[in-house]
Amino acid sequence: MGLVLLIIIWLITLVSTYFFVAKWWWLPVGASAAAAGIDHHFTVSFILMGPVFVAAQLALGWFAWKYREGGTSSKGAEYSHGNATLEVLWTVLTVFLFVGMNLMSRSIWASERFDSAKPGAVQVEVTGMQFAWYFRYPGPDGKFGLTKPELEDASAGGEAALGLDAKDPASKDDVVSGVMVVPVNREVEVILRAHDVIHSFFVPQMRFKQDAVPGLAIHMHFTPIQTGEYEIACAELCGLGHYKMHGILKVVSQEEFDKWLAAREAEKQ
Amino acid sequence: MQAAHAHEAPQGFIRKWIFSLDHKVIGLQYYFLALAAVFVGMFLSLLMRIHLIWPTATLPFFGEIKPETYLSLLTMHGTIMVFFVLTTAPQGGFGNYFLPIQIGAPDMAFPVLNMLSFWTTFLGFIVLLAAFFVTGGAPLHGWTGYAPLSALQSAGPGEGLGADLWITSIAIFCIGALMGALNFITTTLDMRAKGMTMMRMPLTVWAWFITAILGLLAFGVLLSAGILLLMDRNLGTSFFVPLVTVNGQLTGHKGGSPLLWQHLFWFFGHPEVYIAILPAMGLCSQLLSVFSRKPIFGYKAMVYAMLSIGFLGFMVWGHHMFMSGMSPYTAFAFSIMTMGIGVPSAIKTFNWLGTLWRGRIRFHSPMLFAIGFVSLFVTGGISGPFLAQPVLDIYLHETYFVIAHFHLIMGVASIFGIFAATYYWFPKMFGKMMNEPLAKLHFWLTFIGAYAIFMPMHYYGMAAGLRRYSQSTEVAYILKLLPLQRFISIAAFITIASQFIFLFNLFWSMWKGKKASDNPWEATTLEWTTATPPPHDNFSGKTPVVHNGPYEYSVPGAPRDFVMQSDPEIEPAH
Amino acid sequence: MASFTTTTTVDDPRISLGGGGILPPVLGGRGDDGSGSPNYTTRLRRARLGLIVAVTPILMLFVSFTSAYIVRQGLPTLDPQTNLLVKDWIPVKLPALLLVNTVVLLLSSLGMELARRQFRGEAALVSGGTASEVSSTEQNKMPWLGMTLVLGLLFLFGQWTAWKQLGASGFYVSSTASSSFVYLLTGTHAVHLMGGVLALLVASIAALFRRASARRSIVIDVTAWYWHFMAALWVYILCLLEFAR
């Protein structure tokens, strides 16, 4: 039975480790400026924790077999209540490992979350509602117009869904889109809002996720560095349509972005 | 006041089995409640796994499972498993049965309160199940019940009466759990037999004691959150709901904070996961020692580790909220504390390995589950430091990586503790042995099955596969991951089916099992000194006096390889 | 060779919760008279320990409410009309009646303490305690228990009236965030006090019809400490609502 335990535990450990190392199912290729640092820290964490996982499981299987009753290497059990030096040693090592690993990531977290978006970033207001995403651009005046809950009409889509107040002069040049378009290599500042329940804006390739909370306007930023189309998936349970509340993020060249935005502005006239 | 044991054992079916004051009967009542609950919870997960890979399938009796139904299945699955299985069987079940005996007491401190605590818990379960049968059905907001989704009757199907019943059931459960905690703490502090110092208590007793303290401090906060939520839902208050519109309609709420719910819930929720796992940790220590014929490696360290886990457990709740809109500075503070709480768990793992080292291991079924527990705890534990780092949590939050983590380290590990406890203490409770070949078969199928189900979920999460998605059909990158879901579902079907081996073994052995001796495992703690099953007052009037620690195995020079706690004091030969 | 020595000195497990505290000393070991039935001192100690434990989650409930109160007070919310974060806390003017109710509750606490000592004397007689624990015959005739019960009910009635007054001045449970907390805190306190009232009611009725018993004395002792806790909690709630507006 000890041998079977060893074989099964070792097999499970080695097979599962293989799939991690071979990256059969893995992070998609990163497309934001932060991705390299985050992916690097993933690697560091796997390199530090992986051997611990493997060693602990292999030791477990090994001991189960080696110290089986009736086996050649076990006479009587060793009467020992422990070893204080070992306790201290592995406690200190574990503290260093865990806390050290976390501290290594501090600078990335700081640059992602402590610092605000730089001036000149492209501003996009991202609003989640059951069950769609809307994206609003402030237009040439750089100001977002007021929205009023009583003006909301989700069935009409676009500006009506957000309850945009046409009487506010700042609203005149706001562009509302069902697709999020941003220029490449420029910082994007997202202002996250929600109308009804908590939603969450998640783009895996951008390594970007943030909850959109009703009653708050949360400012975050990321910088796309690769053009393309990326899926936005809602990452906080928001009701029966949670699984189909997805959007598209299009990262295009600066010229294409300007053209697109200008065209949308023109439509409003 | 409630000294039921000056009296004789009760007569009559009702006093003996329904409203019994005997902690052993109450323990069994809790156990069977949890057993019923786990099969309900498992059935719900079966329906979930079927829907995930065959979303349009029409099932007999249920018809087609709609996306909102899927969400109510997962809500109830989580709630039933966390509360009525993991917080009920290890503590209310085995703790009630064996804590008094292991400390040499004739019963719990307050037997009437004990009886009430079980029936309160039972009532909570009935109220919860009722949610399935009311208009709108069971709620769909997840076991975590985030507001405003859980606070607005109009936010989704099941968020009407179903959600009110859900909250009420949890509130009732809180009260039952608090009554139980009261008993556990008072009994452990005040009713230990002569010689049973705190540092001679078995680690199972320490675990039940610390778990009760955690429950005492945490369930009051959950109760407060539930009261506030019921008020928001039914009295028009706005504790958790800001100005929102649902389907374009204003709701009349304003100014509330969804994050307040999260803070209150997780202040409870994090200690809750330690409540779920500590008893299994205590039992694992016990079993590794018994079946390696060796003292536990580092008894004091094990006690301090459990105390640290309990204490630190109240300081890390924010790690569930890294993406919530909470201040990033606060988030980082929580993450450092969270890395800290990984340390005592690691110490315990090293000590378990140290117990096996140079032992003389016997592979009876309780031991198999104990070794399996260590393996699952390691696997589930290793994914913790990933999630604890906010930078990585940006990506991993709300993916299947999280599901893998908590199922392995809390769900499956704790269930292995329950299985181990059953196989271990069955002879003492029922006077019969369980069938060993069936037990071993159950172990292998479940151990391999659990890994087959939950290991692939890590990969699904690394590929950003999101949780609480009724279907993967709408988001292209998630649809690509469907083969993983298929593998997981097949593994789940087989593993779920294997649990009927256990169910059969359990009831068959009660009836037809081989007769058990008083101490079939040759263990040292006090429950093995008394008759099988124990008499009404546990020790037939002969209160034990304790002279030894709980893990005196293979003492050099002793006549046999174990010394009971109540045996004369032993001095090891050097 | 191992030596088996039967030890004569064993650690006597006892809980230590500070010297001279409210728990009576362990007299002569665990108080087990050998028949399996714990004696009065043990039962009292156990009951008081149980009460300390029971009071803890009630404290946590109110700590939780307090933290929600403080958070909510300072919390700005997004006003979609202006796209700005605004604070919308409107302090509640508490009815003066609450002060009267406070006096009533504190008086009831006094009565409760006198009742507790009175019944302790009776229990000492019943279980053969020392003469010094027997209270004077004068005190035995005063219905402190009944008085406490009446004052407790008066407090609850006063709270009910205060809620009516609040409502009349426009502050219902859902009117403002601040009023929600007023009803929440005072209401939850009242519910818990009712538990104490029920215990007193049962003990009072029993005292009228049955002779003294050690068990009843323990019930009243524990209820008394609970009552004092409820009174202190009320003072805390009042101060929180009045000064942390």
pLDDT tens-place string over residues A68-111: 988 766 578 889 899 999 999 999 999 999 999 999 999 999 98
Question: Closest by alpha carbon to B202, among B69, B95, B106?
Answer: B95
- Show which of residues 225-254 on chain B sit within 8 Å of chain A, judged by CB atoms: 241-248, 250
CA–CA distances in Å: residue A161 to residues A174, A180, B243, B247: 13, 16, 16, 10
Q: What is the mean pLDDT of residues A159-177?
A: 90
If one compares B53 and C39, the residue with the highest pLDDT of the two is: B53
- Both tokens of A52, joined, read 């611990």
* Neighbouring C-beta atoms of residue B109, cutoff 10 Å: 29
Q: Quick one: pLDDT at residue C10? A: 35
Amino acid of residue B543: T
In this structure, of A197-206, B390-399, B553-562, the range with the lowest mean pLDDT score is: B553-562
Q: Quick one: pLDDT at residue B219? A: 98
If one compares B4 and B141, the residue with the highest pLDDT of the two is: B141
Q: Quick one: pLDDT at residue B247? A: 84
- Show which of residues 213-242 on chain A sit within 8 Å of chain C, judged by CB atoms: 215-217
Cβ contacts (< 8 Å) between A138 and chain C: which residues?
A: none
Amino acid of residue A190: V
Q: Work out the end-to-end distance of chain C between its first and last CA atoms, rounded to an integer number of angstroms.
A: 74
B354 pLDDT above the threshold of 80: yes
- How, if at all, do strands B58-59 and B63-64 pair? antiparallel
A148–C81 CB contact, under 8 Å? yes
Q: By CA distance, what is B573's nearest residue in C?
A: C2
Q: Quick one: pLDDT at residue C39? A: 86
CA A240, A242, A246: angle at the middle one, nearest 5? 140
Q: By CA distance, what is B385's nearest residue in A?
A: A98
B464–A214 CB contact, under 8 Å? no
- Both tokens of C209, joined, read 């019809």
- Domains in chain C, number: 1
Cβ contacts (< 8 Å) between C38 and chain B: which residues?
A: 3
C126 within domain boundaries:
yes
CA A100, A105, A107: angle at the middle one, nearest 5? 120
B152 pLDDT above the threshold of 50: yes
Cβ contacts (< 8 Å) between C79 and chain A: which residues?
A: none
CA C60, C66, C70: angle at the middle one, nearest 5? 145
Question: Closest by alpha carbon to B333, among B315, B347, B351?
Answer: B315
- Show which of residues 156-175 on chain A sit within 8 Å of chain B, judged by CB atoms: 163
Whether C236 and C33 have beta carbons less than 8 Å apart is answered as no
> Which among B244, B339, B468 is the nearest to A237, CB-wise?
B468
- Both tokens of B280, joined, read 């299994």
> Tokens 């299009």 appear where?
A250
C82–A146 CB contact, under 8 Å? yes
C136 CB contacts (<8 Å, ≥6 apart)? none
Query: Rounded distance, CA C132 to CA C121, Å?
Result: 9
Question: Closest by alpha carbon to B98, among B208, B2, B5, B12?
Answer: B208
* Neighbouring C-beta atoms of residue A248, cutoff 10 Å: 15
C112 within domain boundaries:
yes
For domain B24-256, give the fold. Answer: Cytochrome C Oxidase; Chain A (1.20.210)
Whether B111 and B537 have beta carbons less than 8 Å apart is answered as no
Query: Rounded distance, CA C190 to CA C157, Å?
Result: 10
DSSP single-letter state for residue A114 = I
Question: Closest by alpha carbon to B107, among B187, B15, B17, B190?
Answer: B187
The CATH architecture annotation of domain B276-510 reads Up-down Bundle (1.20)
Q: Which chains touch C (3 or more CB pairs under 8 A)?
A: A, B
pLDDT in tens, B55-94: 998 888 888 899 999 999 999 999 999 999 999 999 999 9
- How, if at all, do strands A246-252 and A180-183 pair? parallel
Q: Quick one: pLDDT at residue B86? A: 97
Cβ contacts (< 8 Å) between A42 and chain B: which residues?
A: 392, 395
Mean pLDDT of chain A: 93
Instruction: Among B103, B114, B190, pick the best mutation site for testing chain C contact (most C Cβ within 10 A).
Output: B190
C13 pLDDT above the threshold of 50: no
* CATH 1.20.210.10 domain span(s) along chain B: 24-256, 276-510
B6 pLDDT above the threshold of 50: no
Reduce the DSSP state of residue A127 to 3 states and report it: strand
> Tokens 């606070």 appear where?
B151
- Show which of residues 237-296 on chain B sit within 8 Å of chain C, judged by CB atoms: 237-239, 242-243, 254-257, 260, 263-264, 267
Local confidence band at B574 (pLDDT 50, 70, 90 cut-offs): low
Local confidence band at C25 (pLDDT 50, 70, 90 cut-offs): very low
Flag whether residue B506 sits within 8 Å of chain C, measured between CB atoms.
Answer: no
Whether B27 and B95 have beta carbons less than 8 Å apart is answered as yes
Burial of C127 (0-12, 13-18, 19+ CB in 10 A): middle
Q: Quick one: pLDDT at residue A204? A: 97
Q: What is the mean pLDDT of residues B304-330?
A: 96
Cβ contacts (< 8 Å) between B106 and chain C: which residues?
A: 36
- Three-state secondary structure readout of B252-298: CCCCCCHHHHHHHHHHHHHHHHHHHHHHHHHHHHHHHHHHHCCCCCC
Query: How close does chain B come to C102, measured CA to CA in Å?
Result: 24
Helices (H), B316-435: 328-356, 365-382, 384-387, 390-396, 400-406, 413-430
- Both tokens of B170, joined, read 């949890």
Mean pLDDT of chain B: 95
Question: Closest by alpha carbon to A194, among A136, A127, A144, A134?
Answer: A127
Q: Quick one: pLDDT at residue B62? A: 82
C83–A144 CB contact, under 8 Å? yes
Q: Quick one: pLDDT at residue B244? A: 93
Query: How close does chain B come to C237, measured CA to CA in Å?
Result: 16
> Which among A144, A149, A215 is the nearest to C77, CB-wise?
A215
B135 pLDDT above the threshold of 60: yes
If one compares B27 and A74, the residue with the highest pLDDT of the two is: B27
Query: Rounded distance, CA B180 to CA B186, Å?
Result: 10
Structural domain containing residue C203: 40-243
* Neighbouring C-beta atoms of residue C93, cutoff 10 Å: 10
Instruction: Among B316, B341, B394, B482, pick the best mutation site for testing chain A contact (most A Cβ within 10 A).
Output: B394
Burial of C100 (0-12, 13-18, 19+ CB in 10 A): middle
Question: Closest by alpha carbon to A175, among A216, A203, A212, A134?
Answer: A134
Q: What is the mean pLDDT of residues B169-192?
A: 97
Q: Quick one: pLDDT at residue C76? A: 84
Q: What is the mean pLDDT of residues A128-135?
A: 95
B423 pLDDT above the threshold of 90: yes
User: ω before B426 within 30° of 0 (cis)?
Assistant: no
pLDDT in tens, B190-244: 999 999 999 999 999 999 999 999 999 999 999 999 999 999 999 999 999 999 9
CATH number reported for the structural domain that contains residue C51 in this entry:
1.20.120.80
Instruction: Write phi, then psi, for A44 (nearest 5 degrees).
Output: -60, -45
Q: Quick one: pLDDT at residue C133? A: 42
Cβ contacts (< 8 Å) between B478 and chain A: which residues?
A: 233
Query: Rounded distance, CA B546 to CA B490, Å?
Result: 51
Percent of chain B with pLDDT over 70: 98
Cβ contacts (< 8 Å) between C29 and chain B: which residues?
A: 194
> Which among C1, C37, C218 is the nearest to B573, CB-wise?
C1
Contacts 24+ apart (CB under 8 A), C20-24: C22/C48, C22/C225, C23/C48, C23/C49
Q: By CA distance, what is A83's nearest residue in B?
A: B298
Q: Quick one: pLDDT at residue B2? A: 42
pLDDT in tens, B252-265: 898 999 999 999 99
Whether B452 and B487 have beta carbons less than 8 Å apart is answered as yes
If one compares B540 and C212, the residue with the highest pLDDT of the two is: B540
- Show which of residues 209-228 on chain B sit within 8 Å of chain C, judged by CB atoms: 216-221, 223-225, 227-228
